[in-house]
Amino acid sequence: MFKIRLLVTALALVSSISVASAWETLPTEAPAPADNATTAAKVELGQMLYHDPRLSSTGTVSCSSCHNTMLGGEDNRPNSMGVNGQTGGRSAPTVWNSAFNTVQFWDGRAASLEAQAAGPVTNPIEMGMKSWDDVVARLQSIEGYKHYFEQAFGKDAISKDNATKAIAAYERTLITPNSPYDRYVSGDKSALSAQQVRGMEKVAELGCTSCHSGPAFNGPGAFQRFPVIADGYWEAQYHFKKDKGLAEVSKNPADEHLFKVPTLRNIALTAPYFHNGSVGTLDKAVMLMGKLQLGKDLTKEETADIVAFLNGLTGEFPKQKMPVLPGTPGSSFN
Amino acid sequence: MFKIRLLVTALALVSSISVASAWETLPTEAPAPADNATTAAKVELGQMLYHDPRLSSTGTVSCSSCHNTMLGGEDNRPNSMGVNGQTGGRSAPTVWNSAFNTVQFWDGRAASLEAQAAGPVTNPIEMGMKSWDDVVARLQSIEGYKHYFEQAFGKDAISKDNATKAIAAYERTLITPNSPYDRYVSGDKSALSAQQVRGMEKVAELGCTSCHSGPAFNGPGAFQRFPVIADGYWEAQYHFKKDKGLAEVSKNPADEHLFKVPTLRNIALTAPYFHNGSVGTLDKAVMLMGKLQLGKDLTKEETADIVAFLNGLTGEFPKQKMPVLPGTPGSSFN
């Protein structure tokens, strides 16, 4: 009897250690690629470019219009609104902690923040510029940018490559550490409520963490199929399968409905949910993840506990200065 | 002979004193109305509301979308773009130094910044909210705003009146002092070039200052007719008279084509020009003001000198912190 109890305790300890080691805090710095070391000058320029609506054909849409750095890093809309009021079929992912994504965009078609930054600018329904040559020409026409590109990259440095590098360098600073979860994992056991701790344990027990683990709860794999379980009832309501995910880009049937696993950090601030933004509330999103990914009907209590835990993933937003953008020369943008 | 020379010198002195006293620097603080003293708590809340796109029906348009505080206080577009890509017929005036306007809007229909702030939010082509009741309901749904309204106005203070007061209080801090012109007038004679000084003298000599004088170059009168001189040639190109100005509101024929006299401060940053944003460059705007307001054909040199002077009216933009907006509860805005 004693031996059995000892064994159980030992197993519990092992299990508790193994679970504990799986809960990671968010690093306060993001790694940068070898060819784009993060520097203060790049971050300063990148913050300007990120917030500059003159990177769009109408002069009305900046990166921050859809990935709002004053909010949860996106726009709380099902689908974002680009130039001339146009909308697409996907919901803007948050820019906060995007430095910790393995791939970028919902379909994961960009391997880096640099590659991602190049996309929306020339997308006709997003920022609508005809070409990056046009973007570079416009940046060159804004006299004041010359200085900032020079500080960051040296002389005659206004180019697509450097603009996207600067934006990516800035985005690598958009990290939200010290959430209640991080403080809990770091030893402050009062940082999460009993309900939140129950939700945290439930997330591990159900297997949510097999896709949503690591410091940003978006790995270890970069992609996951969604939905895993075919369900005509929910599909009729939310049309998740209309979007083929990675297969839209790769044209490979094996990639159908593969999506980037999104971070769970700050998820309480980023309604509505899923790639098409069709689900308005977090409790419904949790319920659907249970049904469609795990084949489980979560109880009301389980759902409430998990939602409470997810609310504990809201981090501290860094204090930023408001950029002063270089002035527009005598011309208009429309 | 000696007596005559003395008299000429005396007159020249008087004239130079009288001209010098007409050149005023920009105050670093704006006066506030008796019922809305500027406080740090109101300014903080007002900065949030000003930059919050959730004050629009689509969740995409904030005050700053058209009156951009990272740029020259507007959007460098002929006509601004509101919700769903809609455009109106007027060009967004700059928010910088708008605290020194006697009246607000191009047609001067608002007597205060508070009254102005209430307008665009429920304008169907601007921010598109159905009513201020809806705006207040939305603000109440954003839990985090409660604290900031309470700090600024006391308990249960979320209302149209307080929201517009906070926005106005913030706008009163948007002042751009220390332009080259201000430094010149304050005694630093190297702050303006010889060409800029020639332009400054020309502005007084031509009579531009009869409408554009005072610290913000927008008085002493609040209104002026534009164009003063009928000219079919330019009208055919720029359609200035399509907009009846104050008469659009008052329906009084005597008010036809009366517009608020706009500030000249930071004018180099606010192309395109005039109430309908139809003129792309500052030199063309100066040429047209000569023709249509003064009945004068300015020489190329005169125009260039005045443009050089106007470039000396670009001030120092205050360093601002980027607001962190209270998070959106589980819902979307579209």
Q: Write out pLDDT tens, residues B210-226.
A: 999 999 999 999 999 99
Distance CA A2, CA A4 (A): 5
Domain annotation covers residue B320: no
Distance CA B152, CA B139 (A): 15
Q: What phi, psi does A22 have (nearest 5°)?
A: -80, -20
Regarding whether A223 and A158 lie in a shared domain, the answer is no
Q: Considering CB atoms only, which of A75, A84, A282 is closest to B330?
A: A282
Write down the ipTM of this complex.
0.92
Regarding whether B292 and B229 lie in a shared domain, the answer is yes
Regarding whether B191 and B96 lie in a shared domain, the answer is no
Q: Write out pLDDT tens, residues A164-215.
A: 999 999 999 999 999 999 999 999 999 999 999 999 999 999 999 999 999 9
Q: What is the pLDDT of residue A166?
A: 98
CB contact B84 to A (< 8 Å): yes
List beta partners, residue B258.
B225, B245
Regarding whether B240 and B118 lie in a shared domain, the answer is no
Residue A120 gets the label, from left (phi > 0), alpha (psi -120 to 50) or beta, of alpha
CB contact B71 to A (< 8 Å): yes
Per-residue tokens: B106: 């191009």
CB contact A56 to B (< 8 Å): no
Is pLDDT at A13 greater than 50 in this prediction? no
Q: What is the pLDDT of residue B22?
A: 83
Decide if A194 contacts A79 (C-beta within 8 A).
no
What percentage of chain A carries pLDDT values higher than 70? 93
Domain annotation covers residue A219: yes
Domain annotation covers residue B2: no
Whether B323 and A84 lie within 8 Å, measured CB to CB:
no
Regarding whether B187 and B116 lie in a shared domain, the answer is no
B249 min Cα distance to partner chain A (Å): 28
Q: Write out pLDDT tens, residues A244-266.
A: 999 999 999 999 999 999 999 99
A143 carries an active-site annotation: no
Please state, rounded to an integer, the average pLDDT across all residues of chain B. Answer: 93
Domain annotation covers residue A221: yes
Whether B322 and A320 lie within 8 Å, measured CB to CB:
yes
A56 min Cα distance to partner chain B (Å): 12
Interacting residues of B153 by C-beta distance below 8 A, sequence separation 6+: B42, B162, B165, B166
Mutation site, B48, B52, B69, B71, interface A, largest A CB count within 10 A = B71
CB contact A312 to B (< 8 Å): no
pLDDT confidence bin for A22, thresholds 50/70/90: confident
Is pLDDT at A299 greater than 80 in this prediction? yes
Regarding whether A181 and A151 lie in a shared domain, the answer is no
Domain span at A115:
40-171
Tell me which of A171, A187, A204 is where a domain ends.
A171
CB contact B62 to A (< 8 Å): no
Domain annotation covers residue A190: yes
| CA distances (Å), origin B189, targets A215, B27, B184 | 59, 20, 5
CB contact B51 to A (< 8 Å): yes
Regarding whether A205 and A191 lie in a shared domain, the answer is yes
Mutation site, A54, A56, A70, A126, interface B, largest B CB count within 10 A = A70
Tell me which of B171, B188, B223 is where a domain ends.
B171
CB contact B77 to A (< 8 Å): yes
Per-residue tokens: B229: 């001189």
Interacting residues of B154 by C-beta distance below 8 A, sequence separation 6+: none
Catalytic residues of B: 126
Mutation site, B58, B60, B86, interface A, largest A CB count within 10 A = B60
CB contact B46 to A (< 8 Å): no
A80 min Cα distance to partner chain B (Å): 9
Whether B83 and A85 lie within 8 Å, measured CB to CB:
yes
Distance CA A149, CA A46 (A): 10
Regarding whether A181 and A134 lie in a shared domain, the answer is no
Global confidence as pTM: 0.93
Regarding whether A147 and A44 lie in a shared domain, the answer is yes
Q: Considering CB atoms only, which of B58, B59, B280 is closest to A332?
A: B280
Is pLDDT at A16 greater than 90 in this prediction? no
Is pLDDT at A8 greater than 70 in this prediction? no
Chain A, chain B: beta-carbon pairs less than 8 Å apart: 142
Distance CA B90, CA B170 (A): 24
CATH code of the domain covering residue A198: 1.10.760.10
Domain annotation covers residue B321: no
Regarding whether A200 and A153 lie in a shared domain, the answer is no
Per residue, what are the HEC states of chain A? CHHHHHHHHHHHHHHHHHHHHHCCCCCCCCCCCCCCCCCHHHHHHHHHHHCCHHHCCCCCCCHHHHCCCCCCCCCCCCCCECHHHCECCCCCCCCCCHHHCCCECCCCCECCHHHHHHHHHCCCCCCCCCCHHHHHHHHHHCCCHHHHHHHHHCCCCCCHHHHHHHHHHHHCCCCCCCCHHHHHHCCCCCCCCHHHHHHHHHHHHHCHHHCCECCCCCECCCEEECCCCCCHHHHHHHCHHHCCEHHHHHCCHHHCCEEECCCCCCHHHCCCECCCCCECCHHHHHHHHHHHHHCCCCCHHHHHHHHHHHHCCCCCCCCCECCCCCCCCCCCCC
Mean per-residue pLDDT pooled into runs of 10, chain B (334 residues) = 40 40 91 98 98 98 98 97 97 98 96 98 98 97 97 98 98 98 98 98 97 96 96 96 98 98 97 97 97 98 98 97 92 67
Tell me which of B109, B139, B171 is where a domain ends.
B171
Q: What is the pLDDT of residue B11?
A: 39
Regarding whether B199 and B141 lie in a shared domain, the answer is no
Is the preceding omega at residue B120 within 30 degrees of 0, hence cis?
A: no
Higher-confidence position of B60 and A329:
B60
- Chain centroid to Cα B183, Å, comes to 21
Domain annotation covers residue A29: no
Domain count, chain A: 2
Count CB-CB contacts under 10 A for residue A177: 18
Q: Considering CB atoms only, which of B81, B83, B328 is closest to A58?
A: B81
Regarding whether B306 and B206 lie in a shared domain, the answer is yes
B329 min Cα distance to partner chain A (Å): 7
Interacting residues of B149 by C-beta distance below 8 A, sequence separation 6+: B45, B139, B157, B158, B162, B166
A61 min Cα distance to partner chain B (Å): 9
Q: What phi, psi does A260 have (nearest 5°)?
A: -60, 135
Domain annotation covers residue B323: no
Distance CA B323, CA A71 (A): 9
